[in-house]
């Protein structure tokens, strides 16, 4: 039996509605981040889709030393807290350092363990001990069934609010692929599975000093993931991805999301009836 994770009243997993985790890759300004959050809240309210807003106060795992990382912990959490309070929404961000965990847990509804840190035992357990729901990004280097070992580290802290996110697997140089058999394998572990549709089309380091991406394939993979039975979709979006300071090539334009979300909701309804 699959566990259900509750994030501030949003039930994720089992027969619950598909949840959307979405927002810009990283905070650029309060105004731009608020605009994206407002758009997504209004859209998901209209479509009756449970929504968790995601962004990052700092992106520590950038390709280049000169890549934009965000405003940092203090200013970034202030932005996220302002958006959370004004819009009354649930919020998620990744944490990269031990020192970030306590202040982040004061604001965030979900603490996300980055893919490259998912095997760092002490870090995983420290994040879990904060007592908040944890979203584990499956490392690009892990087989789906190996996520069980990460889950066991979280469970060792008596935290049973666990989600696992698929984001593609390394395939040669500067490329990721998604094996949808992994969705079934990870759901069989008993915890909600989220599909990261935008990072799965990322081309790591593919633009030289930055990562490239193929956003045209985001809808294809998202539709396939929902048909395969995921419990939520994770997507990064900007008003104008071409001008985004982080992960723009693999992010969606806000104007394209309504049609896609309607498709995803219809697919989940069809799969649940079959």
| pLDDT, tens digit, 9 for 90 and up, residues 255-272 | 999 999 999 999 999 998
Check whether 207 has a pLDDT greater than 80.
Answer: no
* Entry pTM: 0.96
Mean pLDDT for the chain? Answer: 96
Domain range for 234 is 5-273
Least confident interval from 40-44, 201-205, 219-223: 201-205
**Complete DSSP assignment for 242-274:** GG-SSSGGGPEEGGGHHHHHHHHHHHHHHHHH-
| pLDDT, tens digit, 9 for 90 and up, residues 61-107 | 888 888 899 999 999 999 999 999 999 999 999 999 999 999 999 99
Check whether 11 has a pLDDT greater than 90.
Answer: yes
DSSP code for 120: -
- Name residues whose C-beta falls within 8 Å of residue 254's C-beta, 6 or more positions apart in sequence: 36, 39, 40, 237, 238, 239
CATH number of the CATH domain containing 169: 3.20.20.70
| pLDDT, tens digit, 9 for 90 and up, residues 214-246 | 999 999 999 999 999 999 999 999 999 999 998
Least confident interval from 34-43, 59-68, 90-99, 185-194: 59-68
Token pair of 28 as six digits: 């650029």
Question: How many structural domains compose the chain?
Answer: 1
Report CA torsion sign: 74, 76, 82, 85. Answer: negative
Cα three-residue angle 34-39-44, rounded to 5 degrees: 125
């Amino acid at each position: 039996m699959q566990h259900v994770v509750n994030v501030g009243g949003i039930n994720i997993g089992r027969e619950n509605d598909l949840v959307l985790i979405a927002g810009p890759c990283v905070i650029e300004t309060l105004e731009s981040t608020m605009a994206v959050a407002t758009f997504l809240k209004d859209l998901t309210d209209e479509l009756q889709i449970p929504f968790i807003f995601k962004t990052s106060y700092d992106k520590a795992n950038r390709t280049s030393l000169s890549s934009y990382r965000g405003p940092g912990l203090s200013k970034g959490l202030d932005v996220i807290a302002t958006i959370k309070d004004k819009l009354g929404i649930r919020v998620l961000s990744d944490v990269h350092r031990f020192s970030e965990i306590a202040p982040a847990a004061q604001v965030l509804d979900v603490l996300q363990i980055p893919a490259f840190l998912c095997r760092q035992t002490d870090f995983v357990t420290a994040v879990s001990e904060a007592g908040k729901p944890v979203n584990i990004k499956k490392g690009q280097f892990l087989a789906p069934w190996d996520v069980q070992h990460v889950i066991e580290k979280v469970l060792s802290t008596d935290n049973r609010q666990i989600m696992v996110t698929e984001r593609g697997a390394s395939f040669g140089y500067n490329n990721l692929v998604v094996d949808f058999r992994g969705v079934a394998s990870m759901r069989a572990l008993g915890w909600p599975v989220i599909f990261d549709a935008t990072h799965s089309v990322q081309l790591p380091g593919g633009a030289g000093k930055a990562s490239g991406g193929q956003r045209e394939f985001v809808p294809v993979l998202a539709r396939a993931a929902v048909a395969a039975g995921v419990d939520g979709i994770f997507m990064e979006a900007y008003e104008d991805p071409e001008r985004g300071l982080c992960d723009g090539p693999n992010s969606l334009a806000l104007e394209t999301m309504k049609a896609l979300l309607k498709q995803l909701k219809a697919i989940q309804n069809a799969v649940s009836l079959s």
